[in-house]
């Protein structure tokens, strides 16, 4: 007859080996999971920032375009280094000159005598007339770009809106 010990405190060798194997697997996988989750959260935050920036930019430009005098609309570009139709100039109903344009990677504007920077993350901007028979509708398209986690990836956000000039 085999006698068992009544006081069996501690762990057996098999239990200790299983725990070490599980912990070793977690140590191997843990840093990669942490890295990927950090990249995901930074990319998600960057996308939200670009969406917010695009919404506010389009809202401001649209609000001013609606109040433009339709006979004063001019679509061109700032200089030969900028894309075609990346600048719009017009006269506001109150008589002030308004301009929105791309300069490098920045979206800039001037209302009257004040200059404003709308976005430092601009990739592309275009103002077009979608219908050649109706010059009171302007299509505004912009693409914003921002680098993310250690600049391995970039987040892009494209937005487009048609605006009817009311005056």
Please compute the mean of the pLDDT values over residues 26-50 and round it to a whole number.
89
Domain limits of the chain?
A: 29-164
Yes or no: say if 96 and 112 are a contact pair by the CB < 8 Å rule. Answer: yes
Residue 139 reports pLDDT greater than 90: yes
Kindly give, in sequence order, each residue whose CB lies less than 8 Å from that of residue 157, ignoring residues fewer than 6 positions away: 47, 50, 51, 53, 54, 143, 144, 145
Residue 51 reports pLDDT greater than 70: yes
| Confidence (pTM) | 0.77
- Residues 53-94 pLDDT 10s: 999 999 999 999 999 888 888 888 888 888 888 899 999 998
Owner of token pair 């506001």? 92
Strand, coil or helix: 129: coil
Please compute the mean of the pLDDT values over residues 20-30 and round it to a whole number.
89
Which pair of structure tokens corresponds to residue 55?
């919404």
* Residue 6: count of CB within 10 angstroms of its CB: 5
Confidence of residue 151 (pLDDT cuts 50, 70, 90): low
Yes or no: say if 68 and 90 are a contact pair by the CB < 8 Å rule. Answer: yes
Yes or no: say if 108 and 79 are a contact pair by the CB < 8 Å rule. Answer: no
């Amino acid at each position: 007859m085999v006698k068992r010990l009544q006081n069996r405190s501690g762990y057996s060798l098999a239990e200790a080996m299983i725990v070490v194997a599980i912990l070793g697997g977690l140590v191997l996988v843990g840093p990669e999971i942490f890295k990927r989750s950090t990249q995901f959260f930074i990319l998600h935050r960057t996308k939200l920032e670009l969406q917010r920036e695009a919404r506010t930019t389009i809202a401001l430009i649209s609000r001013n375009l609606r109040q433009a005098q339709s006979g004063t609309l001019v679509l061109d570009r700032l200089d030969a280094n900028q894309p075609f139709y990346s600048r719009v100039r017009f006269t506001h109903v109150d008589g002030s000159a308004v301009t929105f344009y791309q300069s490098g990677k920045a979206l800039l504007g001037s209302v009257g005598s004040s200059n404003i920077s709308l976005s430092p993350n601009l990739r592309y901007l275009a103002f077009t007339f979608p219908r050649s028979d109706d010059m009171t509708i302007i299509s505004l398209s912009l693409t914003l770009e921002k680098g993310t986690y250690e600049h391995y990836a970039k987040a892009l956000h494209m937005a487009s809106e048609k605006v009817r000039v009311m005056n």
